[in-house]
Chain A
């Protein structure tokens, strides 16, 4: 049975308007309509002829480049890159996927990590996978994404990019073995390029993974295909994922500020939490005090401009709905959450970071 939210979303997005409305707007605003002559000319066919000619020229040009151009700017070292790409159920656009990139050393341990999307940055924040075996790192990312409700019905796409196809193949096999235990948790696809590349990789002297990247980078970023041939793998990954370094830096800075706020204000917040606990103990026992308790919590978790501090701070309570539930039917649990938090700084910080991640995911996906 559909939830209220889902039903409402469907109703809202199914709303449609008579085509005459748009025509009327243009008419009244003096926007020129398409003339009969323009309608009778088949512009698309003409455009396709031009496009075909352009594509042929590009192919000839690309082949020429391949024969005579120097090798790509990979710097000569053979580095393995791995990307993990998840598409949550509520993501409507490609740039709302959760995407993370790992660079691997010769032992297939993570040597560096990079977020390729905002929600990828949230998942990575506070987690350093350097020197962790890549299979373990991938598994953690997938499990954490599940906890943050970022797993959708689409398979988790793992892509391995290495100029040495044998290396790609052996890492694929290793990951497939390792991820057997995740079979019931999510579906996975590793290096599924066959159905996703249209051009012949051998023709361009690259392996399938590189061809997939080149095609995707070209399609997503509107870069002419022949210009992708000499790009490095990390640059192709950036184009394929729509990665904007400045935007990501800015986002990650704001994100880490929120984490810092949580930690730096810890002592103040713990003091306030203990005050609230005392007030709740005074007030509990009388159902009429429920509103007073709510007000105390509100005052604590709400900042001066009306926004919530980390959207929720105390335990796993998510939004006012659950706060009401906790206060009305599970007051004991609620109190114990506060007591737990007061007793255990690590637990409190972990919950704070987790809740900030949840609130940021909510912020990204709406």
Chain B
């Protein structure tokens, strides 16, 4: 997956914009969930996702093939999300009923994602979502997040355990 993403970016750099659609398809969810982990708001996470790709397209010169492309994208998304969060600190929407109308899903359809967002740390949420994304191997997730594989496994197991415990408590109550 990592090599594929790097190839797409190099093709875009060479002027082949058809690679951008493919890049977007392969990476948008990862970028989105990274932004969501910081902002905890779907509408804002979508905005940051857009902004990340726009920045990427404008800063292609700064990317060279030796870098991990997904790590680059995720770092950009995280930094943009943090900037937005800091700017809007007092305005972050915490009431789910006020989620932007163009956000695509309902709480019912995404119960586990919501639960994870609410109860996991940012790192646990990132590790869990990236590890569960189709096509992403754990080794690649470790490189994307710049973490040892064992640490990724540790966070992943902890995150899953927390979710199971919460679900179990909800079922029993």
Interface residues of A, Cβ cutoff 8 Å to B = 4-5, 7-9, 11-18, 21-22, 24-26, 28-32, 92-93, 302-303, 305-308, 311, 319-321, 362-366
Contact = CB atoms under 8 A, between A and B. Distances in A.
Nearest to B28: A17
A4 B110 CA distance: 13
Interface stretch (B48-56, B65-73, B75-83, B84-92): B48-56
Given A17-B32, A26-B20, A319-B153, A12 B132 contact: yes
Given A11-B110, A16-B104, A17-B104, A308 B153 contact: yes
Interface in B15-66: 17, 20-21, 24, 28-29, 32-33, 46, 49-50, 53-54, 57-58
Interface centre among A8, A22, A321 (most CB of B within 10 A): A8
B33 A12 contact: yes
A11 B112 contact: yes
Contacts of A302: 150
B160 A25 contact: no
A307 B112 contact: no
A144 B150 CA distance: 24
A16 B133 CA distance: 12
A238 B46 CA distance: 42
Contact of B112 (A4, A28, A320): A4
Interface residues of B, number: 49
Given A29-B58, A321-B157, 7 more contacts: A5-B160, A8-B128, A17-B28, A21-B49, A29-B53, A306-B154, A320-B154
Interface of B: 17, 20-21, 24, 28-29, 32-33, 46, 49-50, 53-54, 57-58, 102, 104-105, 109-113, 116, 128-129, 131-139, 141, 148-151, 153-154, 157-158, 160-161, 163-164, 167
Contact of B104 (A8, A18, A306, A321): A18
B111 to A, nearest CB: 8
A4 B160 contact: yes
B72 to A, nearest CB: 16
13 contacts: A8-B116, A11-B109, A15-B29, A15-B113, A25-B53, A29-B58, A31-B57, A307-B151, A311-B150, A311-B153, A321-B161, A365-B137, A366-B141
A32 B17 CA distance: 8
Contacts of A321: 157, 160-161
